[in-house]
Each structure stands twice: as C-alpha cells, then as structure tokens.
Amino acid sequence: DAKTTQPPSMDCAEGRAANLPCNHSTISGNEYVYWYRQIHSQGPQYIIHGLKNNETNEMASLIITEDRKSSTLILPHATLRDTAVYYCIVRVGPGWGSTLGRLYFGRGTQLTVWP
C-alpha cells in the first residue's frame, strides 16, 4: 500500500516554481522519500530522493520537514515539458545488500504547466 498522500492535481504557469506537497506521516526511520514522474504513456522517471536533509539536483529540490512527516518537491522554473504525474514514494533507502526496489505507487499529482 502507498504510504503517501498527494493532491490529485495542480497547475503552474510556465517559468514559475511548482511546489508539489506530499504527506507521509507514517514514514519509518529507515525510509527515504523518493520522487518520480511519469509523462503520458512513458515509464516513470526518477527525480530525487532524500532521508531527512534537503536535497537539490539538476532537476529539482526536495524539502523534508524536520519531523519527516511531509515533504515538498520544487521545480524551480517549470516548463511545458514538466507536465506529468508526479509520484511521492517512501521506501527503504538505496542499500546494495537489501531486496529493495519494490515500489508502491499512490495516485500521484497531475501537474499541468500552462503557457
């Protein structure tokens, strides 16, 4: 079962920041927050992940609250190509000796970027 709650849809103007929230109030201490997105009729694409510190990469920033019960994915300058369904997933972290990788997707947030 998905352990996250996301708004079903959000809109954002092109060039503006898109802030996508996610609630994961039952997250365990060894679970990370992962974000993926899925453009229509394609496979999911990894965006970013974090444990408790804020993270940033070339695609996005991830802000995790101090109690780790919620997080926000930030796309700093949204483009039309960012229109997709964004999934927030909690899972045990990237360990090589474990049997990780099973992801349980919730409904995600449909982000629509308009010109």
Partner 1 sequence: GAVVSQHPSRVICKSGTSVKIECRSLDFQATTMFWYRQFPKQSLMLMATSNEGSKATYEQGVEKDKFLINHASLTLSTLTVTSAHPEDSSFYICSAKARVRVGTGELFFGEGSRLTVL
Annotate each residue in 11-30 with x if it binds partner 1 (CB under 8 A) or - if it does not, as one string.
--------------------
What residues form DSSP beta bridges with 77? none
CB of 71 to partner 1, least distance (A): 18
Interface positions, 75-114, toward partner 1 (CB under 8 A)? 87, 94, 96, 99-108
Of 14-22, 25-33, 44-52, 71-79, the window that binds partner 1 (rule: CB under 8 A) is: 44-52
Nearest to 33 by CA among 2, 76, 79: 2
In b/e form, how buried is each residue of 2-38, taking b as 16+ CB within 10 angstroms? bbbebeeebebeeeeebebebbbeebeeebbbbbbbb
77/107 with CB nearer partner 1? 107
54/65 with CB nearer partner 1? 54
Residues contacting residue 17 through CB under 8 Å, at least 6 positions apart: 74, 75, 76, 77, 78
Using CB under 8 A as the criterion, which residues of the chain lie in contact with partner 1 when the complex forms? 2, 36, 38, 41-46, 57, 87, 94, 96, 99-108
